[in-house]
Structure 1
Amino acid sequence: MNQTGLIGFFLFLTLVAVISIFKTRKVKLNTTAAYFMGNRSLGFWMVGTSLFLTNISCNQFIGENEFVYTNDMSVMAWGMSSILAMLIVAEFFLPVYLKMGAVTTPDFLEQRFGKGMKRIVSLIFLASYLVSLIPTVLYGSAVALNGIFHIDTALGISYFSAIWILVVLVGIIGCCYTVLGGLRAITVSDLVQGLGMLIGGFLLLWFSLQYLGDGSVLHGIEKITGSEKEHLNAIGGANDPIPFGTLFTGMFLINLYYWGMEQYIVQQVLASKSLSQGQKGISLACVGKLISPLLLNVPGLIAVHLYPDITNTATVFPKLVSDVLPSLLTGFMAAIVFGAAISTFNAGLNSSGTLFIMNLYKPWRKAAASDKELVRTGRIFQVTITVLAMCFSPFILYFDGGFYHYIQKISSFFSVPVFTVMIIGLLTKRVPELAAKVGLVFFIVMYGISQFVVDTGLNYLHVLAILFAVSVMLMLLIGKLRPMPVAYVAKNMAVVNMRPWRARYWFFAALLVLMAGMFLLFSEYGLAA
């Protein structure tokens, strides 16, 4: 085990913890607004870095670099195309949520369709976090840490046992952060982690290229751009795992759902102090997405040349970190990866508590529940979710198809069906609750059949787009036959300043041009020529 690396690991984590405690020492967590929403006091720096760090976790470090190693750069499309979705959210979705004073995204469904729909979607979110989000974050961080520090070898135990031990360790630390610090502590730590990730990412690239180029960074760049060019292509073909056409079908729908409706993501923006700060924060997160391939994809390209015969491809990223960085920086990089995992884990856990308390427990208790009771119950629920996820997480190791495949397949069960209902609610005024329930059930059942019963021969992202279109038509048909007697009218219950960011369109346009430029760079007209 790398003892110097462990020192660097714990030093950086201690620094983040000390800064978080110092900046939040005067914050009282005895109300739900303070515990779950940070008193709606976040500026754009906190919103942007928290959004970016919440999205970037060990799942991406492990899964995307593994995908580049085994396939090509087409996995980059998830991050790049999300920029368009994020800007749509900033312009159209965020004003709606803030105007109605939403705490959770299902709050909109309650206003639009009724309490029943809010409860159903809240349960779907919770199921998604328990089955998909929290276990995969724990598993991904365990794989990364074991790959860097070789815990299994140091302790003389099996790989599975090492993963289990690390899952429990990450779960306990992450749970303590959330339960003791609330959303404000999470966002402060994200700000420090974001700076660390930027520094660590460039250090990893420098040392990796130097290692590959036998001491010369330029020689290393020449190697990854001069051979194995098929790995440099981000424009996936029709038979590739991620065809380029899916950017305009299922991938676009998933990204729009993720950035505009996924509770653990949107909650970061709902806590902003104004609409303008929220829009700036989303734009800052888009800048992070533009540079994220340097950390999430390029190491996989370098590994193609360094390790042509890896059997466990999930270890590509941690092996690279362990081999190329000096001992102290190895620990620093491990702390960044660990921090990214904790950030996503904390966001998921905080949102789980918010959904359970605000959408299920509080309505059940009605006026009988005080803020103190709600916060206490939320903490108990978060601890319970953590324990369940820790028990399930290590077994992802045995999932057929790989880690990244597990994430995308399972999350799709929950994402686009909810998006379909939300988008109908946003764009129509008379479609009733019955249509929303029928559409939701139809989508989930048909997607399950298409993935596990009938082989359609289509990429699952195309299947999602087809089911989206059919479900929308089904809901519109029910709305035509049995419309709501009174059209829906949004209520103005804003608790923050609703003035938008004046310069946003110039920044939005620049971000879209840079997004297109990244696709051009990693294509047959660019580096893959």
Structure 2
Amino acid sequence: LIAGGLATTYIALQMVGSGDAWDGLNLLRREVPGHFSMILSKGEMMIPDGAGGTRDAYLDLPGISVLVGGMWITNLSYWGFNQYITQRALAAKSLDEAQKGMIFAGFLKLLMPLIVVIPGIAAYVIVSNGIDTGFIESMKDPVTGLVKSDRAYPTLLQLLPVGLKGLAFAALTAAIVSSLASMANSTSTIFTMDIFNKYIDRDASEAKQVKVGRITALVAFGVASLVAPALGALDQAFQFIQEYTGFISPGVFAIFFFGVFWKKTTSNAALTGAALSIPLSVVLKVVFPALPFIDRMGVVFLILAALMIVISLVEGKGKDHPNSIEITKELFSTSTTFKIGAVLIAGITAALYIVFW
């Protein structure tokens, strides 16, 4: 995947730079300097809306909120409290191995701007400047005839040389299958263990639980198959998924954060957070449609946090909950390798934001 991604970036820059990748990168910086900005202001960048018009990119990346606002909610809820992700660390043979895996993944994540963002900017310039007619035609939706952002990367992958193209698509397919397997495992586990086994059949045998889990996975895939075609009409499916996942993320994050780090949190407070996350998000979306979804997630989290604190203090009369998690410093022990890797990743990330502010 990395080899294919880097090759895709190189080819995209070559197309823009008339055969020279370095000239292509310099041309991108000259032609669309705003696309290299990581902290946007209102009206700074207009992007296609998928319907032939444009929309303000600020709605997706609302300025400083990317650093100190709602972006933390979506990041921490996904990477820290999502079973789909955490089960990979939990499957490690030791704490040290899990930490090494996290650091390795962190360094891989730093390659994303080079592998994903730069080719996207190159595709934008190719379309805007009419550099390659065939490429532009491949990016058009067969139904509407409009150029779609989501078709940029698949079109670029088609430009890879024979052999590398097959290897990249095989790796991509394997990654997708692996992700689907993880999602199916998480979905079936949550339903079987937390719902079926607790509220439907407490005495279910292991064989019955396995069967229920398999049925749950099949139903989940069925629902996904019905929903997936609707995403094809979007200009950027990823942004759509991020926004509507954000209806749930503030509640999930609040529950886990207070449940782990605040001993006074009660189960009713957690239930309130779970129950109100979606309704509050819907109300804010309807009442404040111009509010960026990342900011909306931050606001919903703050409201839920306040409610959970008040409910816990009133219900528990200020005392620690008897089933609270005992946090000790040993739980956060890290190896020297992890510490060095974490400092490097944080430093590189900070440098990227400073340079491309």
Distance in 2 of aligned mates of 1:228 and 1:461: 25
Q: Once the 2 structures are TM-superposed, how far is the Cα of residue 411 of structure 1 from its aligned partner?
A: 0.4
Distance in 2 of aligned mates of 1:340 and 1:441: 33
Q: Once the 2 structures are TM-superposed, how far is the Cα of residue 326 of structure 1 from its aligned partner?
A: 2.1
Q: Once the 2 structures are TM-superposed, how far is the Cα of residue 281 of structure 1 from its aligned partner?
A: 1.2
Write the mapping of 1:47-62 to structure 2, written as runs, cut at 5 A: none
Write the mapping of 1:414-429 to structure 2, written as runs, cut at 5 A: 414-429=248-263
Write the letter of the residue equivalent to 1:365: D
Write the mapping of 1:24-423 to structure 2, written as runs, cut at 5 A: 197-239=1-43, 240-241=58-59, 242-247=61-66, 248-308=68-128, 311-322=147-158, 324-363=159-198, 364-370=200-206, 372-398=207-233, 402-423=236-257
Distance 1:488 1:284, change over 3 A: farther
Distance 1:450 1:437, change over 3 A: same
Distance 1:433 1:499, change over 3 A: closer
Question: Is the 1:280–1:501 contact (alpha carbons within 8 Å) kept by the matching residues of 2?
Answer: no
Query: Which of 286, 298, 301 matches 1:468?
Result: 301
Distance in 2 of aligned mates of 1:402 and 1:204: 20
Distance 1:500 1:405, change over 3 A: closer
User: 1:481 maps to which residue?
Assistant: 314
Q: Once the 2 structures are TM-superposed, how far is the Cα of residue 447 of structure 1 from its aligned partner?
A: 1.1
User: 2:47 maps to which residue?
Assistant: none
Structure 1: runs of 5 or more not aligned: 1-196, 524-529
Question: Is the 1:233–1:522 contact (alpha carbons within 8 Å) kept by the matching residues of 2?
Answer: yes
Structure 2: runs of 5 or more not aligned: 44-57, 131-135, 137-146
User: 2:274 maps to which residue?
Assistant: 440
User: 2:46 maps to which residue?
Assistant: none
Question: Is the 1:421–1:436 contact (alpha carbons within 8 Å) kept by the matching residues of 2?
Answer: yes
User: 1:507 maps to which residue?
Assistant: 341
Structure with higher RCO (Cα < 8 A, 6+ apart):
1
Write the letter of the residue equivalent to 2:19: G
Q: Deviations over 1:136-163 (max 9, x none)?
A: xxxxxxxxxxxxxxxxxxxxxxxxxxxx
User: 1:454 maps to which residue?
Assistant: 287
Alpha carbon RMSD of aligned pairs, Å? 2.4
Q: Given the two structures, how large is their TM-score scaled by the length of structure 1? A: 0.56
Q: Deviations over 1:7-60 (max 9, x none)?
A: xxxxxxxxxxxxxxxxxxxxxxxxxxxxxxxxxxxxxxxxxxxxxxxxxxxxxx
Write the letter of the residue equivalent to 2:155: K
Q: Deviations over 1:297-329 (max 9, x none)?
A: 11111112222265222211112222x322333
Distance in 2 of aligned mates of 1:225 and 1:330: 28
Distance in 2 of aligned mates of 1:470 and 1:348: 29
Distance 1:470 1:381, change over 3 A: closer
Distance in 2 of aligned mates of 1:412 and 1:262: 13
Write the letter of the residue equivalent to 1:462: D
Question: Is the 2:13–2:119 contact (alpha carbons within 8 Å) kept by the matching residues of 1?
Answer: no
Identify, as 1 or 2, the structure richer in helix: 1
User: 1:72 maps to which residue?
Assistant: none
What secondary structure does 2:19 align onto? coil
Q: Given the two structures, how large is their TM-score scaled by the length of structure 2? A: 0.81
What secondary structure does 1:244 align onto? coil
Distance 1:479 1:317, change over 3 A: same
User: 2:133 maps to which residue?
Assistant: none
Distance in 2 of aligned mates of 1:476 and 1:456: 28
Question: Is the 1:275–1:501 contact (alpha carbons within 8 Å) kept by the matching residues of 2?
Answer: no
What secondary structure does 1:327 align onto? coil
Question: Is the 2:266–2:321 contact (alpha carbons within 8 Å) kept by the matching residues of 1?
Answer: no
Distance 1:244 1:339, change over 3 A: farther
Question: Is the 2:28–2:122 contact (alpha carbons within 8 Å) kept by the matching residues of 1?
Answer: yes
Percent identity of equivalent pairs? 25
Distance 1:335 1:420, change over 3 A: same
Distance 1:292 1:438, change over 3 A: same
Q: Once the 2 structures are TM-superposed, how far is the Cα of residue 498 of structure 1 from its aligned partner?
A: 9.3
Q: Once the 2 structures are TM-superposed, how far is the Cα of residue 476 of structure 1 from its aligned partner?
A: 1.2
Distance 1:499 1:226, change over 3 A: closer
Distance in 2 of aligned mates of 1:205 and 1:457: 34
Question: Is the 1:432–1:483 contact (alpha carbons within 8 Å) kept by the matching residues of 2?
Answer: yes
Distance 1:330 1:369, change over 3 A: same
Distance in 2 of aligned mates of 1:402 and 1:287: 26
Distance 1:329 1:514, change over 3 A: same
Question: Is the 1:276–1:498 contact (alpha carbons within 8 Å) kept by the matching residues of 2?
Answer: no
Distance in 1 of aligned mates of 2:204 and 2:36: 60
